[in-house]
Structure 1
Amino acid sequence: MSKKRIITKRDFLRTAGVTTAGAVGATTLAAPYVKAQAPIRWRLQTYAGAALAEHVIKPSIDAFNKAANGEMVIDLYTADQLVPQGELFRAVQQGTIDAAQSDDDSMAAPIDVSVFGAYFPSASRYSLDVPVLWEWYGLREIWEEAYAEIPGVTWLSAGAWDPCNFVTTKPIRSVEDLKGLRVFTFPTGGRFLERFGVVPVTLPWEDIEVAVQTGELDGIAWCGATEVYTVGWADINKYYLTNNISGAWAGSYIVNTERWEELPEHLQQLYKLTIDSSHYYRQHWYWWGEAHYRTTGGKLELTTIPESEWKQIEDEAMKFWDEIAATSDRNKRVVDILKKYAETMRAAGAPYRYG
């Protein structure tokens, strides 16, 4: 019969010391988070002003900060709060801020496909078109390819916002009424609308309301009814044009590459889930709001340009597409995808497309 080994206090401490040393080595390699460490801290700036940010991003960031359980905290900043909107991309690239939520167009992303960010004329009818185009028609791969050519910034995701309608102090009932209108809008959208006599104006977000009140602006072509009522623009305008330039805004999430690669994988995944959470919230919030405020808002008179006349805008958009396609091979690939998608939706009929 074998004798039982009696473990002395000295044996235990010697064995424990070896085990502990091994554990320390493993800990160093795995670099797990320790509660006593200070949390990772990011600064994220959105394109949206304070009232709008309450819906388009804040719920998801609040959820992230809670789910991160002390390992990481994201501080959220609204439009122009840390850097001007037009410098947002460069600020992420330089590490001035860690992440951003914005369309590629207005944050001046130096990629050819940035023209398709925000509202590319007639590119979509409904908000679901945007995630379908990115996730099932190949735009995700194209955006990843384009951003991979720019050092310091990693593109993560694109999602949909609201349609682009005119809200103005003057009624619009025909294409002719667009002539001379000074409106706040997006860069590419403004370039397109100039063909119909619109005068696009660029201003900081916080100055828009005063500019409408003082007559510097005749209105806004930036959003749909949900935003118009949420941010207070329904209080300073009189008319809402039901025809839209595009059915959904397309916006991106980008991060500073170095800061992104520093994150452990589980926090990267949590951040991606947070982005998806934000995409989902906007899908139902905007879809609810567009109908709700048109029918019950009560502050704006709805006007409509007859469909037969509005076709001028849509036909011109197709010419605009071809002009953009000629600027680069990658832009042509995007336009080809948009054309294929539009053809598929028309062929599918209702509920994808009516008429």
Structure 2
Amino acid sequence: MKSLKMTTLVAAAAVTISALSMPAFAADRVYKLKMAETWSSNFPIFGDAPRNMASIAEKMSNGRLKITIDSANKHKAPLGVFDMVRSGQYDMGHSASYYWKGKVPNTLYFTTMPFGMTTPEQYGWFYEGDGMELMQKVYQPFGLLSFPGGNTGNQMGGWFQKEINSLDDLQGLKMRIPGFAGEVLAKLGAKPTNIASGELYTALERRTIDALEWVGPSLDLRMGFHKIAPYYYTGWHEPATELQFLVNERTWKKLPDDLREILRVSMKLASYDMYIQSYHESAKNWATMKTEYPNVEVKTFPREVLVAMEKANQELLDEKAAEDALAKEILDSQASYMKQARVWTNISDRAYLDSVDDLAK
């Protein structure tokens, strides 16, 4: 009995010491993290998201969490963020998951998929469906955590030097287009490539490429593509493009629980803020483009081309699912969620827009 009492007293003392010392230490310590971004310095919208996140995190933590950001023109590796965060050279990164498909093929499914989910549908899949869990299945073996990092909404199909009238026009077409959409176009005879944002205008101007897709009016107008490519096509390939925050898992584990939660909330809020900003800028810049640059011809791909794209896309999805069990799990989850969510999208958004259009006739 005496031994039990002594054990209880020792345990109580240990708890008291812990309670007195640990929170005080954690409350006083400032955690300084370094982030590498794919974007060049002062790049609008994409670059705003990580800075917004860092500001929110610092304010919510009362200065205990400070995040400095190195742009691509400093670290010189815009498409090297995955490796820099994985190695611990940087604690965090801001980029896009589909840039890593050459290293880890299953990463490409977490940015966007051709003919896939819209932004609200995709956010539903991430946060209420299986999206976050499946994304961690892909990234955790590499010592990384991935979180949604900001959405552009539906992207435009790209700027073209020549009009696309048939499938023949895709043969040998050199186009900057990353992700799964690049694989779809390759299957149809095009030659997709990926080029960092800072090199896009020059590549198109010098005809190193024949066409490119970037984002949409929110960012395309200031890039000046309308000056060198007259045809602007509507989208099919990126209906909801989600960027990403990467976190080194060792860094994550070193943070106290409260700072992890602050970081998680800051990333989530900054991501949604970027979606709002991107939507606003697209609406504003679309109006500017139509009034100031009336010679830009807005086109939709011919039905023949869209049908071929959708067919190639489905064939590639089936191939990926057959080759890799995790790819199948991800693709099945996305298809199942979209099937359920799209019914509501049609009943709510599509039905509303159709009704308003009918009234305007």
Which has the larger Rg?
Answer: 1
- Root-mean-square deviation (CA, aligned residues, Å) is 2.9
**Are 1:302 and 2:298 matched, yes or no?**
yes
Give me the TM-score of the superposition, normalised by structure 2: 0.80
Match of 1:9 in 2: none
1:82 aligns to what?
75
Q: Does the 8 Å CA contact 1:162/1:247 hold for their aligned counterparts?
A: yes
Q: Which residue of 2 aligns with 1:179?
A: 171
Which whole-Å deviations, capped at 9, do the CAs of 1:233-269 have from their partners, x for residues lacking one?
A: 4444322101321201133222111111111222212
SS of the residue corresponding to residue 80 of structure 2 reads helix
Q: Matched residues in 2 for 1:332 and 1:237: separation?
A: 38
Q: Which moved more, 1:294-303 or 1:26-35?
A: 26-35
Give, as a single letter, the amino acid of the residue that structure 2 aligns with 1:205: S
Query: 2:102, 2:150 → 1: CA distance?
Result: 17
Unaligned stretches of 5+ residues in structure 2: 1-14, 355-361
- Between the two proteins, what is the percent identity of the paired residues? 18
Q: Which secondary structure state, in structure 2, belongs to the residue aligned with residue 86 of structure 1?
A: coil
- Work out the CA distance in 1 between the residues paired with 2:236 and 2:181: 11
Q: Structure 1 residues 190, 25: CA separation in 2 closer, same or farther (over 3 Å shift)?
A: closer
Listed as ranges, the gaps of 5+ residues in structure 1 are 1-21
What is residue 142 of structure 1 aligned with on the other side? Answer: 134
Q: Aligned AA for 2:321?
A: A
Distance 2:350 2:94 in 1: 30
1:154 maps to 145
More displaced, 188-197 or 48-57? 48-57
> Do the aligned partners of 1:345 and 1:353 also contact (CA within 8 Å) in 2?
no
Partner SS, residue 105 of structure 1: helix
1:351 counterpart SS class: helix
Find out whether 1:106 has 2:102 as its counterpart: no
Normalising by structure 1, report the TM-score: 0.81
Q: Which of 322, 334, 341 is the matching residue for 2:337?
A: 341
Distance (whole Å) between structure 2 residues aligned to residue 188 and residue 303 of structure 1:
22
Which amino acid in the other structure matches residue 322 of structure 1?
D
Give the conservation status (yes or no) of the 8 Å contact 1:131–1:158: no
Query: In 2, Cα distance between the equivalents of 1:58 and 1:347?
Result: 36
Question: Would you say the 8 A contact 1:120–1:188 is kept in 2?
Answer: yes
2:348 aligns with: 351
Residue in structure 1 matched with residue 219 of structure 2 by the alignment: 227
CA distance in 2, matches of 1:156, 1:201: 26
Letter paired with 1:75: T
The amino acid across from 1:325 in the alignment is A
Q: Would you say how many aligned residue pairs link Structure 1 and Structure 2?
A: 330
Distance 1:146 1:135 in 2: 16
- Given the alignment of the two structures, is residue 197 of structure 1 paired with residue 189 of structure 2, yes or no? yes
Change (3 A) 1:234 1:28: farther
Q: Which residue of 1 aligns with 2:7?
A: none
Give the 3 Å change call, closer, same or farther, for CA 82–288 of structure 1 in structure 2: same
**Per-residue CA distance 1:310-341 (angstroms, 9 max, x = gap):** 22222222212111111211111222123223
Displacement of 1:54 in angstroms is 3.9
